[in-house]
Structure 1
Amino acid sequence: MAKSAKNKKEVKEQPGFRRYIIWFWRSFAAGVGILILLFLLASWGVFGPMPTFEELENPKTNLASELISSDGKTLGKYYLSENRTPVAFSDLPQHLVDALVATEDERYYSHSGIDARGTIRAFAFLGRRGGASTITQQLAKLLFHGTSTKGWRRYTQKIKEWVIAIRLERQYTKNEIIAMYLNKQDFIFNAVGIRSASRIYFGKEPKDLKIEEAAVLVAMLKNPRQYNPHREISKKKSLMRRNQVFKQMEKNDYISKEEKDSLQQLPLKINFSPETHDEGLATYFREYVRNSFMKNWIRNNPKEDGSFYNLSLDGLKIYTTIDSRMQQYAEEAVIEHMKQLQAEFFVQNTAKRNPTAPFVGVTNEEIQNIYNRAMRQSERWRVMKEQGKTEKEIRASFTKKTDMTIFSWKGTIDTIMTPLDSIKYYKHFLRTGMMSMEPRTGHVKAWVGGTDYKHFKYDQVIQGARQAGSTFKPFVYATAIDQLHLSPCDSLPDVYHCIEANKYGNVEAWCPKNSNGEYSGEMKTLKNGLAESTNTITARLMDEVGPAPVVNLARKLGITSDILEVPSIALGTPDITVYEMVGAYGTFANQGVYVKPVMITRIEDKNGTVLFEYVPETRDVMSREVAYTTVNLMQGVADAGSGRRLRHDFAQNETVYKEIITGYPYKFDNPIAGKTGTTQNQSDGWFMGMVPNLVTGVWVGGEDRATHFKSITYGQGASMSLPIWALYMQKCYADAELGVSKEDFEKPEELTINVDCTKKPEKDKLNIDKDLDDLDF
């Protein structure tokens, strides 16, 4: 025992052991010194530039601008490569944060940017038992480095990440770092940042994520492509990785073993909702805002330093008047009706039934002109022309087959065809435009420029001016009521009537026929005349007031399209947009006050600073009495005229009608004012419908006027457009939160014009006796 103690004492006193101890501590000190030197060298920028204090304070990230609905929903975003909209930590559910920490950085709340235990473990086992990167280091890499480098540069990059991570920990709280990290992550499929990922993969905001959904997104952080729940090839891996997240949460006491076992049994479910410029809600409206409103606003509102805002990078928040629910109902109504109407159009335009399909009543030369015009107006022609190609080369390209995707009502079709054949194919499809607006505020609540923005870019709401047809007639009636103080109960004869040549600038005499080519010879009240859209009655009113006052009224109603001061405008020959018509009709519902349609109410920068707030543009156009009387006239259209199918079954052609109309009969029992419109050869079908707090306009027709139904049964506004309005209103009324009115239109307190036609008028306001004397029976 004594000998053993003596030997130990001798060993300790051996010079070699002492040298070993000294060498160890010197090596350790040298290692620490080298590490400190490396940190200093990295901070001095020897290994490459380091972010400045200002950059750490405000890291540069590309932020998508966001279009927000009046009910607080995101309609869409504008971005180049990164669809990113940041959220605050307070908007993240706790189980998402717990899953992230448990899986990516167990000791996140106890380190200051670098996990010493994790780093030593990574060195000892060469990374086989997990990496050493903390959440803060990963954020440093995302903000200032990007993809990993190889070789010795990887080591210097890692040192820079350590330095930046420590600086970030000093600059931000732990919660802020987590929010920054999740906002920066790319989950692919245009899902950059946790908010985009939550919306695209699950169709909801981050705060609404369930724990199993949050775990799927955390699982993707390791490799968003390899563990992607949308890719068929990676769904199994995504499920396994999600379950590993649950295991980590249980290990770190965020959930119990029972909860883990239960959660791991859940199937993998996602609600994939891609956010691209061609898909999603309100695509036509979003493009209008981007290419028209915002382009003009940015050009006229530079920043303080003279530079211009970048819609795709600066993270603007654009608040709109669109109601996401009403927009959804409008798009559903359009699709439901147009799908069936188009099916009937295809039936009537087979090669056997119509050799010139889809055109009616045109020559082969006229058809060729249509195709030539379409080629010249195409994007292909424009691009090749800018490239310096000759017309011969451009035309030749239209006859070469190429891979393409085309629209069909059964889904997108991948096919091979020539560009010219695709032009011919798309000429068969009917187009539509629809807009809905609150008349009192001018707030546009729904905007549908077509059936599919990806394949039909032309916006029929604001770009597609078409002949207004009989929807123009209320402007004539309103002018006559204002100038002549007429009543809806006043009567005029339904007989042949001409406005002589040169009376109002018309070179030839204008003698319009009724749509059926017949004249009843009976006296008709103005209310019946408008309800039945009797052309002779409108012509007589135009003869009394002249076209100039009608054009003047149209201008005051916000119609800027060209209108010639000739009598024929009474029947709707001017080309007018849906946007203009809805604004004009809104004046009648708003008691004579025109309110310019409003789409954007406010714009904020990424910090919430208000950059723009709209100021309403209003003007008094007509008295409340005239406006109400005109509305009363248009109520006759829905009660007993061309819009009466809104009220009950329509006996005439009922079987045929039901075949193409979804939801018919509609059986509305509330006050409705409106007007149908059908142009020559059924080329355009309109319906303008109003209730006290909502005005909606719908147009349906072919891209070319030669594309139309042969018969009035299918081609009239009451068949082509009215059903879209009816379906839309049914959906709106079913959603009580929208508050769409079922009340009557407000009646002026002192109404001097008789609108109750049950009372016999004292006399006709026009010189009917003279008119009858001039008739030739």
Structure 2
Amino acid sequence: MLLLLIGSLLYLRAQSLPAAAVSQTSQMLDIHGNVIDTFHAGENRRSIKLKEISPYAVQATLAIEDRRFYDHLGFDFKGMARAMLINVQNLSKKQGASTLTQQLARNLYLTHERTWSRKLKEAAYTAQLEMSYSKDEILTMYMNQIYYGHGAYGIEAAAVTYFGKPASQLTLAESAMLAGVPKGPKYYSPYMNMKSAKDRQLTILDVMVEEGMITRAEADKAYNEMLSFQPLSAGNQEGFAPYFRDYIRTVAVDKLGIDEHLLNEGGIRIHTTLDPHAQKAAEEAVAAGFPADSEQQAALIAIDPRTGYIKAMVGGRDYKTNQYNRVFAKTRQPGSSFKPFVYLTALESGMTPLHMFRSEPTAFTYDEGRQTYEPSNHNDKYAGEDIDMRRALASSDNIYAVHTIMAVGPDKVIETARRLGIDSPMDPVPSLALGTFPVSPFEMASAFGAFANSGKHIEPIAITRIEDKNGRILYDAAPEETPVMEPAHAYVLTSLMESVFKPGGTAARVSAAIKRPVAGKTGTTASDAWLVGYTPELVTAVWVGYDKGRTITTAEAHRAAPIFAAFTEKALETVPPKMFPVPEGVVTVYVDPSTGKLAGESCPDKRLETFVAGTEPTELCGEHTDEAGSEESAAEVPAKEKHHSWWSDLKRWWNG
């Protein structure tokens, strides 16, 4: 056995190491096939000597990656045993045991596929490296090879990228911060996740103390040091659709399992759903929506409800200053923009747009009478009379909404929201009707997509296809369409939400800016303002507010709707206006809103209302000069207008 081992080592010693793997630029493409980003288009790397690297950076790297580097021969069998014991104890792979030499062999000569043949090659190349180079030479190659995120390869590029200084000048605190990044640049980069970066910095400092590299006092001082980071370079991090590009990286690596090294060096092509025209419209609408000196933030996401394609994404107003993507922030209350889920539940429970509740200050008891909830309307304005669902939704009457959720049950509303894709935590309490539980703009846009798509929900998609450098398909999206509500219910609710943009509606002030049928719902809380709306081709969620929940003024709250209007009209400027498609099982009849009955000839405020077939009123109003039930009065409701037609809708819309 010993002779076999010696023979194998002599054989490996006589062999030449292969040429290092040549990295290739990967590309991200928009929906038209145009390149919107490249990954590692020419590595940001400058090799330096070991003596040009701060001793702190070397020590921090050895502490976290391979503390026995100078004691083993390329394979740390003691470390392997320790890692195996920890993994068995935790019943999962909590700890690895690859040495620096193994990592270097993998990065220089191999792919990152998990096969036995690759592992055997890695072992052979590791032995060859150890026999061909000194420990200092291997460490130097490693420090110049490793990827630190944000396009920085090697410690010198990382020091300049993060701290604007050469590697020789890195402090203990800076070194411990950088040493933690290579394990997962997405998770441990201070630009992406400061908390995780600080936690890993502390882990590294603790190990350095354990190994006698530094004292506890030095570690504590370094951890508490306030670090000053450089703004990320414009080459990779700014420019067009930066938040979307970051999201694509996250989806590719975390959801689709694309290895980060393959992403950065493998020459793959990622085809995305981004519409450059819509993205430009989104960025311009957000930029124009605020005074230059405003600190208020914003988020916008737009999805094609027919395909689930994410067409545009803006996660904030200044990516260079803050890379936090607010599109996915589950920290903001949706306010009244949540009410459509309440009213959908009501329609499915048998209520109609004519269902009446009184709009006045009301105390609601729940939890078997043990608790009381007293909501109020905006500015304490109440109708002081019975109002119907259309008027309540258009004016965003809170009392009506709470009456409704108490009638149908908060549990059912939560079930409705879950069905449509809202997965944030919610409790079955009356205040749920007013959007008191935080959700993300992403969730709201996804859920509203089902209203726009005739009751069918499609999970949002950002990546349609990924190809390797040879054109082989690594991933091909297969969107699934799931019916989540009856098409008739979706259409009736859409009809109700169209009133939000008409006189008396909370978004009426921007209706003139939108030259096409549109539906949606506004939402305002003390610190958040929303408009979530849609056309047949595009559903958009807009949020404005402050990151730390600062109270917003009335003027600040009014910024969401103009952003939505400007974006929607610009994004669809080349698309002819379309009516919302009318499904089977929908009828429209003239009604008298005050009585909820069919309108007679002399009814002064008759209104054409939309219903799920079978729920429309059948009794003729007789409270005016008409005689209830007379054949003459009944004839005044033309049959052709009892049954919905797209042409009559088009004429009504065209005529205002």
Same fold per superposition (TM over 0.5): yes
* SS class of match (2:379): coil
SS of aligned partner of 1:298: coil
* Residues 497 and 539, structure 1, Cα contact 8 Å, conserved in 2: no
2:265 to 296, 301, 313: 313
Deviation at residue 725 of structure 1 after TM alignment: 1.2
Report the AA paired with residue 308 of structure 2: G
Check whether the contact 2:515–2:569 (CA below 8 A) recurs between aligned residues.
no
Correspondences of 1:204-283 after superposition (within 5 Å) = 276-283=235-242
Q: Hey, what does 1:287 align to over in structure 2?
A: 246
- Partners of 2:438 and 2:457 lie apart in 1 by 20
Residue matched to 1:462: 328
1:474 matched to 2:340? The reply is yes
1:743 equivalent in alignment to 2:584: no
CA–CA distance in 2 between the matches of 1:446 and 1:68? 14
What CA distance in whole angstroms lies between the structure 1 residues aligned with 2:373 and 2:32?
51
Cα distance in 2 for residues equivalent to 1:586 and 1:468: 16
Aligned letter for 2:317?
Answer: T
Counterpart of 1:461 in 2: which secondary structure? helix
Distance of aligned partners of 1:530 and 1:72 in 2 relative to their CA distance in 1, 3 Å threshold: same
**Number of paired residues?**
406
- Matched residue SS, 1:465: coil
User: In the superposition, relative to structure 1, how do residues 495 and 760 fare at CA in structure 2: closer, same or farther (>3 Å)?
Assistant: closer
Which of the residues 517, 523, 526 maps onto 1:677? 523
Q: Which residue is equivalent to 2:113?
A: none
User: 1:495 — aligned with what?
Assistant: 360
Which letter does structure 2 place at the counterpart of 1:675? K
Change (3 A) 1:754 1:277: farther
Report the residue type matching 1:314 in the other structure.
G
Are positions 1:642 and 2:506 aligned together? yes
Match of 1:695 in 2: 539
Matched, 1:625 2:464: no
Task: Label 1:604 to 1:688 Cα distance change in 2 as closer, same or farther (>3 A).
Answer: same
Matched, 1:450 2:316: yes
The equivalences for 1:703-718 within 5 A come to 703-705=547-549, 707-709=550-552, 711-712=553-554, 714-716=555-557
**CA 743–760 in structure 1, closer or farther in 2 if over 3 Å, else same:** farther
**Within 1, Cα distance between the matches of 2:428 and 2:579?**
35
Preserved CA contact (<8 Å) 2:388 2:593:
no
Please, which runs of 5 or more residues in structure 1 have no aligned partner?
A: 1-48, 85-189, 191-273, 303-307, 346-428, 649-665, 767-777
Shift of 1:692: 0.7
1:60 CA drift (Å): 4.6
Q: Deviations over 1:678-703 (max 9, x none)?
A: 01x2x001011211111011000001
Work out whether residues 25 and 42 of structure 2, in 8 Å CA contact, stay in contact via their aligned partners in 1: no
Deviations 1:529-553 (A, max 9, x none): 1111000110111111010010001
**Partner residue of 1:337 out of 289, 304, 307:** 289
The letter for the 2-side match of 1:281 is F
Q: Distance in 2 between matches of 1:755 and 1:440?
A: 31
Q: Which amino acid aligns with 2:250?
A: N
- Counterpart for residue 391 of structure 2: 528
Q: Is 1:69 paired with 2:30?
A: yes
> Contact (CA 8 Å) 1:591, 1:624: kept in 2 or not?
yes
- Secondary structure, counterpart of 2:311 in structure 1: strand
Runs of 4+ in 1 over 4 A off after TM superposition: 49-52, 752-760, 763-766
Cα deviation for residue 515 of structure 1 reads 1.1
* Correspondence for 1:79 among 40, 49, 58: 40
Does the residue aligned with 2:506 lie in a helix, a strand or coil? coil
The 3 A distance-change label for structure 1 pair 760 and 329 is same
Q: Deviations over 1:194-231 (max 9, x none)?
A: xxxxxxxxxxxxxxxxxxxxxxxxxxxxxxxxxxxxxx
Per the TM alignment, residue 715 of structure 1 is displaced from its structure 2 partner at its CA by 3.4
- Assess if the C-alpha contact under 8 Å between 1:69 and 1:320 holds in 2: yes
Q: Describe how 1:50-61 pairs up with structure 2 within 5 A.
A: 60-61=21-22
Change in Cα spacing, 1:464 to 1:451, as seen in structure 2 (3 Å) is farther
**Structure 1 residue 334: deviation in Å?**
0.8
1:183-202 equivalence runs, <5 A: none
Deviation per CA, 1:134-189, whole angstroms, max 9, x where unpaired? xxxxxxxxxxxxxxxxxxxxxxxxxxxxxxxxxxxxxxxxxxxxxxxxxxxxxxxx
Separation (CA, whole Å) in 2 of partners of 1:631 and 1:447: 24
Conserved? CA contact 1:487–1:755, under 8 Å: no
2-structure distance, mates of 1:281, 1:620: 35
Question: Match for 1:691: what amino acid?
Answer: T
* Equivalent-residue separation in structure 1 for 2:470 and 2:488 (angstroms): 48
Specify whether residues 702 and 507 from structure 1 end up closer, same or farther in structure 2 by C-alpha distance, changes over 3 A only. Answer: farther
Aligned CA distance change for structure 1 residues 316 and 495 (closer, same or farther; 3 Å): same
Alpha-carbon distance in structure 2 between the residues aligned to 1:284 and 1:756: 48
Q: Deviations over 1:245-292 (max 9, x none)?
A: xxxxxxxxxxxxxxxxxxxxxxxxxxxxx9623211111111122134
Contact 1:548 1:565 in 2 (8 A): yes
SS in 2 for 1:328: helix
Per the TM alignment, residue 475 of structure 1 is displaced from its structure 2 partner at its CA by 0.4
Give the match's secondary structure for 2:444.
Answer: helix
The 1:454–1:523 alpha-carbon spacing in structure 2 relative to 1, beyond 3 Å, is same
Residue 321 to residue 756, structure 1, CA distance change in 2 (3 Å)? farther
Q: 1:756 to 1:78 in 2, by over 3 A?
A: farther
Q: Which amino acid aligns with 2:277?
A: R
Shift in Å, 1:51: 11
CA distance in 2, matches of 1:458, 1:694: 25
- When residues 275 and 76 of structure 1 are mapped into structure 2, their CA distance, relative to the original with a 3 A threshold, is farther
1:321-377 deviation per Cα after TM superposition (whole angstroms, max 9, x unaligned): 111121111111111113x2x54x5xxxxxxxxxxxxxxxxxxxxxxxxxxxxxxxx
C-alpha spacing 1:669/1:328, structure 2 compared with 1 (3 Å): closer
Deviation readout 1:41-98 (Å, 9 max, x if unpaired): xxxxxxxx9998xx7xxx95322221110012212122285289xxxxxxxxxxxxxx
**Which amino acid is the alignment partner of residue 330 of structure 1?**
A
Residue 277 of structure 1 aligns to a residue whose secondary structure is helix
Q: For residue 30 of structure 1, what is the aligned residue in structure 2?
A: none
Residue 323 in structure 1 maps to residue 275 in structure 2: yes
Residues in 2 aligned to 1:675 and 1:296: alpha-carbon distance in whole angstroms: 31
Instruction: Specify whether residues 513 and 621 from structure 1 end up closer, same or farther in structure 2 by C-alpha distance, changes over 3 A only.
Output: same
In the alignment, structure 1 residue 433 sits paired with structure 2 residue 273: no
- SS state of the match for residue 327, structure 2? coil
What is the CA distance between 1:309 and its match in structure 2? 5.2
SS at match of 2:539: strand
Contact 1:316 1:603 in 2 (8 A): yes
Post-superposition CA distance 1:727-765 (Å, at most 9, x none): 21232243x2xx3x5111111132157697789733899
**Cα distance in structure 1, aligned partners of 2:289 and 2:358:** 37
In 2, Cα distance between equivalents of 1:760 and 1:323: 48
Structure 1 CA distance for aligned equivalents of residues 29 and 595 of structure 2 = 54
Whole-angstrom CA distance in 1 between matches of 2:330 and 2:409: 28
Residues 1:753 and 1:487: Cα distance change in structure 2 (over 3 Å): farther
Deviates most, 283-292 or 554-563: 283-292
- Specify the SS of the correspondent of 1:647: helix
Structure ID, larger Rg:
1
* Pairing 1:546–2:392 present: no
1:762 and 2:614 correspond? no
Q: 5+ residue gaps in structure 2?
A: 1-14, 46-150, 152-232, 599-610, 617-656
- In structure 2, the CA distance between the partners of 1:500 and 1:761, relative to structure 1 (3 Å rule), is same
| 2:256 matched residue in structure 1 | 297
TM-score (norm 1): 0.49
Q: Distance in 2 between matches of 1:281 and 1:715?
A: 26
